[in-house]
Amino acid sequence: MKLRVVVIGANAAGAKAASKAKRVNPQAEVIVIDRGDFISYGACGIPYYISDTVAHLDELMSTPVGVIRDGNFFKKVKGVEVRTNTEVTGIDRERKIVQLHDLASGGRSELGYDRLVLATGSSPIVPRLDNVTLGNIFTVKSLEQAKAVKESAAADATACIVGGGLIGLETAEALRQKGMKVTLVEMRDQLLPGVLDREIAFLVERELKQQGITVLTGSPVSGFAGGETVEKVLAGEQEIPASLVILAPGVTPNVAVAREAGIAIGATGAIAVDAMQRTSDPDIYACGDCCEATHIVSGKPSYIPLGSTANKQGRVAGINAAGGEATFAGVAGTSILRAFRINAGKTGLTESEARACGYDVETVISPAPDRAHFFPGAKPIVLKMVADRTTGRVLGLQAAGEGAVDKRLDAAATAITFRATAEQVSQLDLAYAPPYAAAMDNLIVAADIMKNKLAGHARGISAQEVKRKLDDGHDFILLDVRSPAEHAEVGIEGAKLVPLGMLREKAAELPKDKEIIAFCKISLRGYEAQKILDAAGFADAKFMDGGILAWPYALRRG
């Protein structure tokens, strides 16, 4: 009797699992069940459909050559049967049966399986708030919702995005590009919490504000007001006008069917799986947004739902369900987004995550052009590297800027996967030519700074700490070592100018009993200043990480 593999869910993970299972075992009968009309579509492309970057909804459902991925495609090309508009209402593990409800006819039936793959995905979190069911309040997870949002997005109308994560920012950009007046509300004190540390997130927030988006952090939403459709968002004492609201506080894994069947749910609230994507039942696998993944740095179960992870997990689940053998190594939490002119993302652990995991952390902030500074089109990026102070192992990298951050994140993700140290990253033989990178790539520069910090040669201090010292009235000298012209154009209020070329002769004019923090545009000269002051006998000389380019606060102009 031939093997029957049943897959619940026909989006990224489920479609990949089914296709791979059939390729591994061509004699297997592979059946996919999905409660929706649309299958195997690119949900990550929804914000770009809303903004008209992607012109037609069909493009999110098609192959690269334009063939629609529907049931007919999977039957004829993949050899996989797909049953849409069919809901799985239960799993009888003892009898190895799934219970089905035909949503079109209302009929009930049962389907046996030899191997079962759960790819039930996730659902948008809809907070329990007053009047959350008013018209024109949407989530952006399905194609139906995408179409409704696009039809409701009118130029010069008002929109409010609730949630400052990846989807919230991408949708805010999309609606702003449609000509809407957009307010972005996040209950926590920064955008992209869990993705970026505060100082890198500030760079993204600054770009959103410059593009005309109102950003409100530390502002939990309490409810909505309006008639049949929403008119206002209530956040604390504020009433935010909005004719369109997007709820984007995150997603939750769809685990109800698994839980009711007695399948183990992990600490994150998603289905627990092993490296083979096996659940607590050896004949049932899980993949994609419904299940956990092991974080390769922390070693702990994590829930980071991304399309890239779903496809990789689906492939492993499909191989194993069909009788093969494969494992999934885990995730580094690599994420990236575009916010107007800014590209931003991370891989590995942020500083806050690393500290929460118990690491003794050192950090580096390193800004520089993304290619040779003299090459046309060079654009700035800011890197933040996080490393273990004890071993030198790189734990994470964050990046933000107008230039190419993806290649740095990808290289760092590779290094982190293989537990590379800052020393090893600094020796990577990365591609160089002026159109692509500087002779010393941004990632290698960051690793070199990290090496200097770990060895005690460089004493950097974060912009956040400098700002705190300024606000608290600490008695220290903030030393601007740029040129007089640079200082006159833009600067930090209260900084003392001593150009680097004059520092050796003017060092005697500075008090040796005070903390001195030097900075420049990117703090290369700031570090040189620290070394000059060290040699001159100053006991407490430092430099400000990242310089003016990474300073996320207001600057003095002129």
- The verdict on residue 330 lying in a domain is no
Decide if pLDDT at 422 tops 70: yes
Domain end: 454, 470, 495, which one? 454
Residues 116 and 259 in one domain: yes
What does the pLDDT read at residue 340?
Answer: 96
- The verdict on residue 26 lying in a domain is yes
- The verdict on residue 364 lying in a domain is yes
Residues 146 and 226 in one domain: yes
| Whole-number Å distance between alpha carbons of 233 and 237 | 11
Is there a contact between 288 and 44 (Cβ–Cβ < 8 Å)?
A: no
pTM for the model: 0.93
Decide if pLDDT at 59 tops 90: no
Residues 445 and 476 in one domain: no
| Whole-number Å distance between alpha carbons of 44 and 61 | 11
Residues 148 and 236 in one domain: yes
Is there a contact between 174 and 184 (Cβ–Cβ < 8 Å)?
A: no
- Average predicted confidence (pLDDT) for the chain: 95
- The verdict on residue 327 lying in a domain is no
Give me the residue label for tokens 């520069």: 445
Residues 154 and 242 in one domain: yes
Candidates 36, 37, 2; CA nearest to 21 is 2
Residues 17 and 104 in one domain: yes
Domain end: 249, 277, 298, which one? 249
- The verdict on residue 51 lying in a domain is yes
| Whole-number Å distance between alpha carbons of 384 and 406 | 14
Residues 312 and 355 in one domain: no
Domain region containing 512: 460-557
* pLDDT tens-digit readout, 31-42: 999 998 888 888
CATH number at residue 89: 3.50.50.60
Is there a contact between 428 and 416 (Cβ–Cβ < 8 Å)?
A: no
- The verdict on residue 38 lying in a domain is yes
Domain end: 414, 438, 454, which one? 454
What does the pLDDT read at residue 442?
Answer: 96
Residues 244 and 284 in one domain: no
Residues 259 and 212 in one domain: no
Domain count, the chain: 4
Min mean pLDDT across 15-29, 63-77, 449-463, 500-514 is at: 63-77
Is there a contact between 36 and 61 (Cβ–Cβ < 8 Å)?
A: no
| % of the chain with per-residue pLDDT over 70 | 100
Alpha-carbon Rg for the chain in angstroms: 26
Decide if pLDDT at 399 tops 70: yes
Looking at the chain, the number of H-run helices and the number of E-run strands are 16, 32
Q: How confident is the model at residue 554 (pLDDT cuts 50, 70, 90)?
A: confident
Residues 545 and 478 in one domain: yes
- The verdict on residue 332 lying in a domain is no
Residues 302 and 443 in one domain: no
What does the pLDDT read at residue 193?
Answer: 94
* pLDDT tens-digit readout, 467-520: 999 999 999 999 999 999 999 999 999 999 999 999 999 999 999 999 999 999
Q: How confident is the model at residue 85 (pLDDT cuts 50, 70, 90)?
A: very high
- Is 287 annotated in the active site? no
What does the pLDDT read at residue 1?
Answer: 65
| Whole-number Å distance between alpha carbons of 422 and 364 | 11
The vertex-121 CA angle with 190 and 248, nearest 5°, equals 30
